[in-house]
Structure formats: C-alpha cells, structure tokens
Amino acid sequence: MKETIEAALQRQKNRRRVLRLLICMLTLAALALSLYLASLAIGGRPQTLPVAQGLEVPDFSATELPPEYLEGYDRNVYFYKTASLGEIVTEESKELLGADVSLLYGMLMAMMRGDADSYNACFTAEYTDVYGKEDRFTAQKLYDIRLENKGVPDPQSGARCYRLTYCIYRNDGTLRADIGSDEIREQYLYVVDIEGGVAINNVAYNLGNQRTVWEASMLLYVWITVIAVAIIAEVLTAKRIAVWLLPAAALPLVLSLCHVDILWLQLLLFFLLFAVGVLIYKLILEKRFKKGGIPSYIDSVIGQTCTVTQRIDNLAGCGEVRVHGLYWAARACDEETVYEEGETVTVVAAEGVKLICK
C-alpha cells in the first residue's frame, strides 16, 4: 500500500510525540529516584564545628555545683510551641507536652547531671553508629535554656525539628567544645519515632553562614526539581530557552552536595548563569540556528533522483514520485512538460508537500 507524504509526516510527528513522552516519563522517574536518594543521604550531613578558646579545665571530681551558678542563673527549661508562646517544663508537666518534649527534657537533665549513659540513650542507634557515643563529660552548668518547636515534620523522614539554645557556665568543653563559657550556638534536633518511643536521629548547628539540615535538604530538592522541569520543558517546547536552566541549576546542586549551603550564593549563581546562557543564545546562537540549522525532511529530498510512479502532468493536476520509499505529490518544473510513469526525474524544489521535478 502506498504511503502518502501526509501520512508519513504524521507518522513522524507521532514518533516524536511518543519519544518526548518517553523522555518526560524517564525524567520524572529519575527525579523521583534522585529525591529518594537525596533524602537518604541528607540524614546525617556532617558539620565541622569550631573549637572555642578559653575553655575551663575539666574537674571530674567535683560533686557540688558552684553556689554562684545555683543562685544567680535561670536553670529552667522553657518550651515554646510558637515563637511567642512559652512555658516552663518540669518533671510533672513534661509528659503533658508530648513524647518529644519529654525526651529532650530528659536529655537536658542528663547533661546537667553529667550522666553519659542517659544522654546517649536519647539518640537512635543509627546516629550513635555514625557519630559515636559520649564516653564521659562533667555535669554541664546550663542556663537560659530555650526549646522551640520548628513546625511541620519533614515529609521525607517524618522527623520533627526543635531548636535548642542554652549557655554553659564555665564551660570545660567535655560535651560542647564549640562554644565558650556563656556563649550560645543554636542546635537543631531532629526527633523520629522508633519502636517503643522516640529518639533523636540528627543534630545540626547554626554556624552563621550555614543553614539547618532541613533547610539545606530543601535546597537540594529544589535544584533537582529545577533540572527535571527544565528537561521536560525543553523536550515539550524545543524553544532552546529552558535548556539553560540545566547548567544554571547544576552548579548550585553541586554546592548543595558539597554542603556549601549558602542560600544567597546559590541563588545568585543560578540567576546569573541562566541570564548569561539566555543572552549568549539570543545574541549569538539563535542567528546561527536560523541561518544554518538542521534542514527539514522535505528539504533533505531536494536534489534527489527519483522514479515517477504516476504520470506528472501539471495541466491535468496529477503526478507522483517515490523518494526514499515514500510517495510524494509531484509537479513538473515546466508547465507544459509531461513525465510518464517509470521515468527518472530530479527533485529541484518543494512547494508545501509537493515536489517540483525536472
């Protein structure tokens, strides 16, 4: 059965549509896999903590706390459900505030007693396998203790985030060597459900120009999603604009993977690279694509020698040739010239889907 040029072109369009759909499906599958792998990798992002200067000499023989600490500092634990709504946590009220708060309160009390075993029991086995256990530390003289609920659980791991701040009177560095006496550095504690209760599975620190583990993980997800969306958009539109999102998002993605979680730097690089890419295309590459771009399928048959399969007669309005196995409507270059079936002609031009032959 003869295949007309219209049917062939339609078949090619259908193939391209199927190919684009397949690429989109593979991209979405790769996106889902990337997000899953990223969520596994983010569970314990390492942070290098500075060592504070002027730490006190540890005294493990001390059995009593200094009177000036007991009398002059607020040793209460304040829990804030929101930034403005706080209350004092006690042994009697901790259970009413939920399992998470009870766990974190117990951890703080273990720190203040110098009880390493009870402190280590507050963490998951996975966390202690990676970061190890605290063997020994002195009774930590904590004060101005603030515990704040950071809101909605992480959708990937289900972890609840709590921000913890406190100062340590005459800190000796046996537990927290990253802060000096009476200094503060925010901790972000991530609590998960385990069999028989809850436990801490990750701890992050605010190092000034770094973001929390949760916020950093969101940056990683954002750049992976941008890359996937760019691929799909370029496949569907073929406008050569969305493709510039790929290098623009690739560099911030690399920075996130390397734990350079500086939001303003990543955003600056993203918009700068995207703008430069689009400008290069508009000012330089677009003209080249238009001038000497890839020829269409119809253009590719011009100059080909073919066989007349149906008498070409312009006055009668009929004619057909076969090129590369496809049947094309054909007309003679000269209105009065007639080519009979079986003759060999050369394609010299194309008008729409009709080939002009001589």
Same domain, 196 and 331: no
- What are the beta bridge partners of residue 203? 189
Assigned domain for 241 exists: yes
Same domain, 91 and 177: yes
Same domain, 117 and 256: no
213 pLDDT band, cuts 50/70/90, is very low
What mean pLDDT is predicted for residues 127-155? 89
* Cα Rg, the chain, nearest whole Å: 35
CATH for 138: 3.10.450
Same domain, 247 and 155: no
- Residue 150: burial class (beta carbons within 10 Å; 0-12, 13-18, 19+): middle
* Residue 34 pLDDT: 61
Assigned domain for 288 exists: no
Same domain, 55 and 192: yes
For 244-293, the DSSP string reads GHHHHHHHHHHHHHTT---HHHHHHHHHHHHHHHHHHIIIIIHHHHHHH-
More confidently predicted of 263 and 112: 112
Same domain, 331 and 263: no
Assigned domain for 76 exists: yes
Q: What's the Cα-to-Cα distance from 353 to each of 9, 296, 324, rounded to whole Å? A: 10, 12, 15
Same domain, 99 and 18: no
- Domain with 176 in it: 49-206
CATH for 337: 2.40.50.140
Same domain, 17 and 95: no
Same domain, 122 and 228: no
The total number of structural domains that make up the chain: 3
* Residue 110 pLDDT: 97
More confidently predicted of 23 and 192: 192
User: pLDDT tens across 289-301, in order?
Assistant: 655 444 456 667 8
344-351 and 354-357 strand pairing: antiparallel
220 pLDDT band, cuts 50/70/90, is confident
Highest mean pLDDT among 48-57, 131-140, 228-237 belongs to 131-140
Task: Round the average pLDDT of the chain to a whole number and report it.
Answer: 81
User: pLDDT tens across 54-87, in order?
Assistant: 899 999 998 888 899 988 899 999 999 876 778 9
Q: Tell me how far apart the alpha carbons of residues 86 and 108 are, in angstroms, rounded to a whole number.
A: 17
- Residue 275 token pair: 């703008």
Assigned domain for 133 exists: yes
Same domain, 179 and 273: no
Nearest to 47 by CA among 172, 183, 210, 158: 210
In this structure, how many other beta carbons lie within 10 angstroms of the beta carbon of residue 48?
Answer: 9
User: pLDDT tens across 306-321, in order?
Assistant: 999 999 998 888 999 9
Assigned domain for 221 exists: yes
Assigned domain for 239 exists: yes
User: pLDDT tens across 153-178, in order?
Assistant: 776 678 999 999 999 999 999 999 98
Same domain, 276 and 133: no
Assigned domain for 73 exists: yes
Assigned domain for 65 exists: yes
Contact of 143 with 170, CB cutoff 8 Å: no
Q: Tell me how far apart the alpha carbons of residues 81 and 121 are, in angstroms, rounded to a whole number.
A: 25
Highest mean pLDDT among 8-22, 23-37, 135-149, 285-299 belongs to 135-149
Among the candidates 249, 283, 317, a domain finishes at 283
- Residue 310: burial class (beta carbons within 10 Å; 0-12, 13-18, 19+): middle
* Residue 212 pLDDT: 45
Among the candidates 224, 248, 283, a domain finishes at 283
**Quick one: what percent of the chain has pLDDT higher than 70?**
75
Among the candidates 146, 172, 206, a domain finishes at 206
- Residue 122 token pair: 């507050």
Nearest to 49 by CA among 180, 197, 141, 226: 180
Asked if the model's pLDDT at residue 49 lies above 80, the reply is no
198 pLDDT band, cuts 50/70/90, is very high
36 pLDDT band, cuts 50/70/90, is low
- Residue 70 token pair: 């007991």
Nearest to 3 by CA among 356, 334, 299, 329: 329
- 351 contacts: CB under 8 Å, gap ≥ 6: 331
Q: Tell me how far apart the alpha carbons of residues 28 and 303 are, in angstroms, rounded to a whole number.
A: 43
* Residue 222 pLDDT: 83
Q: Tell me how far apart the alpha carbons of residues 181 and 172 are, in angstroms, rounded to a whole number.
A: 8
* Residue 245 pLDDT: 83
* Residue 148 pLDDT: 93
Same domain, 245 and 184: no
Asked if the model's pLDDT at residue 193 lies above 80, the reply is yes
